């Protein structure tokens, strides 16, 4: 039941990369034609509904499904007593690794309850309503124990992990002797920052539709940021070869990290479909979403800095304590950004974890960088005020010309321009350097700014181009469009690299049948997939060039391949454009309807190398590998604070970023706006409350978990610095997925400080934290 979107609104003109092309899938979306993973009306489809644990710790003593099974239409109830055996589970480290599971435990494999909201049963019935009713009728008898809700509980086991983030980052880092440097520093400051639990809350909740096509072959329509990662996970779970598992995600209603991994409900749905022998669809309810796909963990950061009287950093010591699950050592790696944002000769970081009865937290909207930047960027602001130096100036004094964490040169960095342009757009020069004195009637007005940075993560992927002699092309990559514009920007890249108008291109994604693309996460998709598409197009031109120079009827007969270039769909001599022909003519003469090429986009394979040849030279790759690759930017924020009522409103916003090539001015702007709004949410209102005694959330819905509404957000100004990065990848694209959020909460908090003279280090900055501030 494939449904390829029909695209409209594409520009008929070539030369479109960077142009603000409208979303090619926009019309399908507003017409309700875009099919999300829970919207495939498969024949015989039945409905799965989860029943989740009422307690956070203990055991399921007994589970009575008799009443529920008597409900009409109920087909099956999966519990830990009857879940079909899986080839692997994440319950042991080897299985966890093979699956790539985000959490070291699969519910329904044991009677033990580790966290509130853990699934204890999955009901399958012929309608959603009947499954829901039956789930309510299941009686679970628990032997409850007192749970631990967070690292802040005195009973929590606190430890220093050797590795965090699933082994991807170190629990302890040291560069130089930060303690000694601190001891000798004229200025010393220590500040403690806390961050509330945040949930991703994409508009589209987790959703799985599973259909077994054969006893050993399954297709899964999944709400995921990466079809291949889900495919790999399911093949490990099920013991099936990877090619026997097909995963499809044509449209995604946001992910923000929570759909970056294959979570338990997905494999449980697949197992349910196997048991009932019919396709099963399961959609998480909004409350279930809060305990099914991870979250940003509750955390405390202590940041100590030592500086010279001129404001030069001498030492940075970062400590983080956060909550993790009973099985995993997960903490987002906050310290990375602190280690590299500014020139500082010494650095030290420690992570501490406290085990609690919660599910494992996961990458959430700029994991590590977002809360880490809150700490460093608030502390830099403190330093600026303490020394009476402008906040931009303090950052310039500590400007890192090389990556301090590795000593490597940057592949490109436009942060100075970002500061300058941002300050100009914002009117930073009008800022009164004193805090708490700028007013608008009763309101206190504050300006704040902060630096943003996000790494270009190592990544690779493949794309395929099929060019037809009639002047159309199908371009494919198993990437995901999170709603951010992947369909659109890849159409633009394909159009330009094939010399065709965008409306002659059909870009297909979101299917494991297509060439493998990376997970859309860590801001890698735009850079990697666009480079793959570009390289695949180059492959096509190479093949066509070979045909042309061997074809006696071609004007290019006997030309040297390296002398031939492609211009607007024409193969021609670089030196003499009049000598050449249109690819259509060449293909028609050769009697071929279509020609295929494939290409691999890689991190560090180099823009220039990629442009001049189909593959980057090894020498260039080595050169690229010697560079540190990051995007940089700056956010500027104006707030107006009502000191009596405690309300903080963001009234102006400017973000300027240098992120390599920008593929589409409109979708890129939207992405920065969206990420900044996320950040404003985290800064001012987002917080999931976990009861300290029951280890259970008390506001797990969108009525009580606040995210910004339109009225919270002013007009936003977004600009990009024209940045040419020769090392990143064939398209010179760094990616802007997450940088948009980094630094935002600090920019807001810094503006609040400027307005009120009160430094709030506990996010979110809700009215209760402002009260007590009186106008100066």
CA–CA separation, 481 and 312 (whole Å) = 43
Q: Of residues 252-291, which lie at the interface with other proteins (CB under 8 A)?
A: 287
Both tokens of residue 450?
Answer: 């902060």
- Asked if 259 and 293 count as a contact pair (C-beta separation under 8 A), the reply is yes
Instruction: Give the shortest CB-375-to-other proteins separation in angstroms.
Output: 23
Q: Which helix (H) or strand (E) holds 695?
A: none
- Asked if 640 and 665 count as a contact pair (C-beta separation under 8 A), the reply is no
- Asked if 283 and 206 count as a contact pair (C-beta separation under 8 A), the reply is yes
Nearer to other proteins, 471 or 767 (CB): 767
Instruction: Give the shortest CB-427-to-other proteins separation in angstroms.
Output: 23
Nearer to other proteins, 503 or 712 (CB): 712
Residue 710, interface with other proteins (CB under 8 A)? yes
Binding range to other proteins, per CB under 8 A, among 462-470, 484-492, 577-585, 699-707 = 699-707
Please give the backbone phi and psi of residue 186, each rounded to the nearest 5 degrees, phi first.
-65, -35
Binding range to other proteins, per CB under 8 A, among 186-194, 396-404, 507-515, 764-772 = 764-772
Residue-wise burial string across 619-646, b where 16 or more C-beta atoms lie within 10 A, e elsewhere: ebbebbeebbbbbbbbbbbbbbbbbeeb
Q: Of residues 588-647, which lie at the interface with other proteins (CB under 8 A)?
A: 644-647
Q: Is 424 a catalytic residue?
A: no
Binding range to other proteins, per CB under 8 A, among 9-17, 131-139, 420-428, 575-583 = 131-139
Residue 136, interface with other proteins (CB under 8 A)? yes
Instruction: Give the shortest CB-755-to-other proteins separation in angstroms.
Output: 17
Q: Which of 550, 698, 724, 776 touches other proteins by CB under 8 A? A: 698
Q: Which of 55, 181, 535, 731 touches other proteins by CB under 8 A? A: 55
- Specify the 3-state DSSP secondary structure of 578: coil
Binding range to other proteins, per CB under 8 A, among 51-59, 182-190, 243-251, 417-425 = 51-59
Residue 429, interface with other proteins (CB under 8 A)? no
CA–CA separation, 640 and 440 (whole Å) = 8
- Specify the 3-state DSSP secondary structure of 721: coil
Nearer to other proteins, 613 or 713 (CB): 713
Residue 767, interface with other proteins (CB under 8 A)? yes
CA–CA separation, 500 and 487 (whole Å) = 16
**Pairing of β 762-763 and β 187-195:** parallel
Instruction: Give the shortest CB-238-to-other proteins separation in angstroms.
Output: 32
Q: Of residues 365-384, which lie at the interface with other proteins (CB under 8 A)?
A: none
Q: Which entry of 222, 297, 319, 738 is annotated as an active-site residue?
A: 738
Of 249, 358, 252, 242, give the one whose Cα is nearest residue 296. 358
Nearer to other proteins, 133 or 322 (CB): 133
Q: Which of 43, 215, 575, 711 touches other proteins by CB under 8 A? A: 711
Residue 141, interface with other proteins (CB under 8 A)? no
CA–CA separation, 251 and 228 (whole Å) = 15
Instruction: Give the shortest CB-566-to-other proteins separation in angstroms.
Output: 52
Q: Find tokens 């002797």 and name the residue.
A: 177
DSSP labels for 380-399? Answer: HHHHHHHHT--HHHHHHHTB
Both tokens of residue 457?
Answer: 């993560």
Instruction: Give the shortest CB-775-to-other proteins separation in angstroms.
Output: 12
Instruction: Give the shortest CB-154-to-other proteins separation in angstroms.
Output: 15
Nearer to other proteins, 6 or 30 (CB): 30
Of 361, 346, 253, 254, give the one whose Cα is nearest residue 307. 346
Number of shown-chain residues binding other proteins (CB under 8 A): 40
Work out the number of other CB atoms within 10 angstroms of the CB of residue 567.
11
Residue 696, interface with other proteins (CB under 8 A)? yes
CA–CA separation, 38 and 418 (whole Å) = 42
Residue 54, interface with other proteins (CB under 8 A)? yes
Binding range to other proteins, per CB under 8 A, among 241-249, 261-269, 304-312, 767-775 = 767-775
Work out the number of other CB atoms within 10 angstroms of the CB of residue 440.
10
Give the torsion sign (CA, 576, 577, 578, 582): positive
Binding range to other proteins, per CB under 8 A, among 57-65, 491-499, 529-537, 760-768 = 760-768
Nearer to other proteins, 205 or 461 (CB): 205
DSSP labels for 388-430? Answer: T--HHHHHHHTB-SB-TTT-PBBS---HHHHHHHHHHHHTGGG
Binding range to other proteins, per CB under 8 A, among 25-33, 418-426, 659-667, 761-769 = 761-769
Q: Which of 87, 561, 709, 776 touches other proteins by CB under 8 A? A: 709
Residues 6+ apart with CB under 8 A from 294: 102, 103, 200, 257, 258, 261, 263, 359, 360, 361, 362, 363, 364
Nearer to other proteins, 32 or 703 (CB): 703
- Asked if 510 and 478 count as a contact pair (C-beta separation under 8 A), the reply is yes
CA–CA separation, 728 and 630 (whole Å) = 9
**Pairing of β 74-78 and β 139-144:** unpaired
Residue 762, interface with other proteins (CB under 8 A)? no
Instruction: Give the shortest CB-127-to-other proteins separation in angstroms.
Output: 11
Residue 203, interface with other proteins (CB under 8 A)? no
Nearer to other proteins, 245 or 682 (CB): 682
Nearer to other proteins, 32 or 43 (CB): 32
Binding range to other proteins, per CB under 8 A, among 223-231, 532-540, 704-712, 749-757 = 704-712
Residue 706, interface with other proteins (CB under 8 A)? yes
Residue 697, interface with other proteins (CB under 8 A)? yes
Residue 699, interface with other proteins (CB under 8 A)? yes
Q: Which of 33, 139, 434, 693 touches other proteins by CB under 8 A? A: 693
Nearer to other proteins, 442 or 574 (CB): 442
Instruction: Give the shortest CB-136-to-other proteins separation in angstroms.
Output: 6
Instruction: Give the shortest CB-191-to-other proteins separation in angstroms.
Output: 23
CA–CA separation, 90 and 776 (whole Å) = 57
Instruction: Give the shortest CB-280-to-other proteins separation in angstroms.
Output: 20
| Residue 679 exposure: Cα atoms within 13 Å on the Cβ side | 35
Residue 768, interface with other proteins (CB under 8 A)? yes
Question: Length of the chain in residues, anyone?
Answer: 776
Residue 132, interface with other proteins (CB under 8 A)? yes
Nearer to other proteins, 95 or 436 (CB): 436
Q: Which of 423, 452, 700, 733 touches other proteins by CB under 8 A? A: 700
Work out the number of other CB atoms within 10 angstroms of the CB of residue 43.
8
Q: Of residues 91-130, which lie at the interface with other proteins (CB under 8 A)?
A: 116, 129
DSSP labels for 56-72? Answer: SSEEEEEEE-HHHHHST
Both tokens of residue 646?
Answer: 């405690």
Nearer to other proteins, 585 or 689 (CB): 689
- Asked if 154 and 322 count as a contact pair (C-beta separation under 8 A), the reply is no
Both tokens of residue 351?
Answer: 């992570």
- Asked if 754 and 650 count as a contact pair (C-beta separation under 8 A), the reply is no
Peptide bond into 764 cis (omega under 30): yes
- Asked if 259 and 252 count as a contact pair (C-beta separation under 8 A), the reply is yes
Q: Which of 529, 624, 663, 684 touches other proteins by CB under 8 A? A: 684
Nearer to other proteins, 565 or 689 (CB): 689
Interaction site with other proteins (CB under 8 A): 53-55, 116, 129, 132-133, 136, 287, 644-647, 649, 684-685, 689, 691-694, 696-701, 703-704, 706, 708-712, 766-768, 771-772
Catalytic residues: 738
């Amino acid at each position: 039941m494939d449904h390829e979107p029909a695209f409209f609104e594409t520009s008929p003109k070539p030369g479109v990369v960077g142009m603000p092309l409208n979303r090619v899938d926009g019309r399908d979306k507003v017409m309700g034609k875009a099919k999300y993973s829970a919207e495939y009306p498969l024949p015989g489809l039945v409905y799965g509904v989860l029943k989740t644990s009422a307690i956070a710790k203990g055991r399921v003593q007994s589970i009575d499904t008799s009443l529920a099974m008597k409900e009409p239409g109920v087909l099956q109830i999966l519990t830990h007593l009857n879940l079909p055996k899986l080839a692997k589970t994440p319950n042991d480290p080897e299985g966890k690794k093979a699956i790539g599971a985000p959490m070291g435990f699969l519910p329904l494999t044991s009677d033990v309850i580790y966290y509130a909201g853990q699934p204890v049963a999955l009901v399958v019935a012929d309608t959603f309503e009947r499954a829901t009713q039956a789930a309510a009728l299941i009686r679970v008898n628990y032997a409850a124990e007192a749970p631990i809700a967070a690292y802040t509980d005195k009973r929590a086991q606190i430890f220093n992990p050797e590795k965090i983030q699933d082994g991807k980052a170190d629990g302890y880092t040291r560069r130089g002797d930060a303690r000694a440097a601190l001891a000798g520093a004229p200025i010393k400051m220590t500040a403690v920052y806390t961050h509330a639990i945040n949930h991703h809350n994409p508009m589209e909740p987790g959703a799985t539709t599973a259909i077994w096509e054969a006893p050993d072959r399954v297709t899964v329509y999944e709400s995921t940021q990466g079809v291949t990662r889900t495919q790999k996970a399911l093949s490990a779970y099920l013991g099936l070869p990877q090619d026997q598992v097909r995963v499809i995600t044509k449209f995604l209603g946001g992910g923000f990290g929570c759909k970056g991994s294959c979570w338990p409900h997905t494999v449980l749905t697949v197992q349910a479909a196997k048991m009932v022998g019919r396709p099963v669809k399961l959609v998480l309810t909004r409350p279930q979403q809060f305990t099914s796909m991870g979250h940003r963990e509750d955390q405390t950061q202590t940041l100590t800095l030592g500086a010279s009287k001129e404001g030069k950093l001498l030492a940075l010591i970062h400590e983080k304590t956060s909550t993790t699950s009973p099985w995993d050592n997960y903490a987002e790696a906050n310290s990375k950004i602190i280690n590299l944002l500014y020139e500082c000769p010494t650095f030290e970081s420690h992570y501490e974890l406290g085990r609690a009865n919660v599910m494992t937290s996961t990458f959430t909207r700029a994991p590590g960088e977002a809360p880490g930047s809150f700490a460093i960027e608030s502390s830099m602001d403190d330093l600026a005020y303490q020394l009476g130096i402008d906040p931009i100036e303090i950052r310039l004094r500590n400007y890192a010309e090389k990556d301090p964490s590795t000593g490597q040169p940057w592949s490109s960095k436009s942060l100075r321009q970002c500061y300058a342009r941002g300050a100009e757009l914002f009117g930073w020069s009008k800022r009164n350097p004193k805090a708490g004195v700028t007013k608008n009637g009763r309101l206190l007005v504050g300006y704040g700014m902060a630096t943003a940075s996000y790494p270009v993560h190592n990544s690779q992927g493949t794309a395929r181009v099929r060019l037809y002699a009639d002047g159309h092309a199908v371009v494919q990559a198993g990437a995901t469009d999170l709603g951010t514009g992947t369909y659109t920007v890849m159409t633009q890249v394909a159009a330009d690299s094939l010399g065709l108008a965008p409306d002659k291109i059909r870009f297909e994604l979101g299917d494991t049948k297509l060439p493998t693309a990376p997970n859309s996460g860590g801001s890698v998709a735009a850079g990697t997939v666009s480079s793959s598409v570009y390289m695949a197009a180059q492959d096509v031109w190479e093949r066509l060039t070979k045909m042309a120079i061997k074809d006696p009827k071609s004007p290019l007969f006997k030309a040297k391949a390296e002398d031939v270039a492609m211009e607007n769909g024409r193969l021609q001599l670089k030196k003499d454009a009049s000598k050449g022909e249109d690819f259509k003519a060449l293909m028609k003469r050769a009697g071929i309807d279509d020609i295929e090429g494939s290409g691999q986009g890689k991190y560090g394979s180099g823009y220039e190398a990629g442009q001049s040849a189909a593959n980057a030279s090894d020498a260039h790759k080595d050169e690229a590998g010697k560079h540190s690759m990051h995007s940089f930017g700056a956010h500027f924020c104006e707030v107006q604070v009502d000191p009596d009522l405690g309300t903080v409103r963001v009234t102006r916003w400017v973000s300027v970023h240098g992120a390599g090539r920008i593929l589409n001015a409109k979708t890129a702007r939207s992405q920065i706006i969206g990420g900044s709004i996320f950040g404003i949410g985290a800064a001012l209102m987002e917080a999931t409350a976990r009861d300290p005694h029951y280890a259970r959330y008390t506001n797990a819905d969108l009525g009580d978990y606040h995210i910004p509404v339109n009225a919270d957000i002013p007009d936003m100004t977004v600009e990009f610095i024209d940045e040419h990065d020769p090392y990143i990848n064939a398209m010179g694209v760094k990616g802007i997925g997450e940088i948009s959020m980094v630094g935002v909460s600090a920019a807001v908090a810094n503006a609040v400080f400027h307005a009120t003279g009160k430094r709030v280090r506990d996010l979110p900055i809700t009215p209760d934290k402002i009260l007590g501030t009186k106008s100066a």
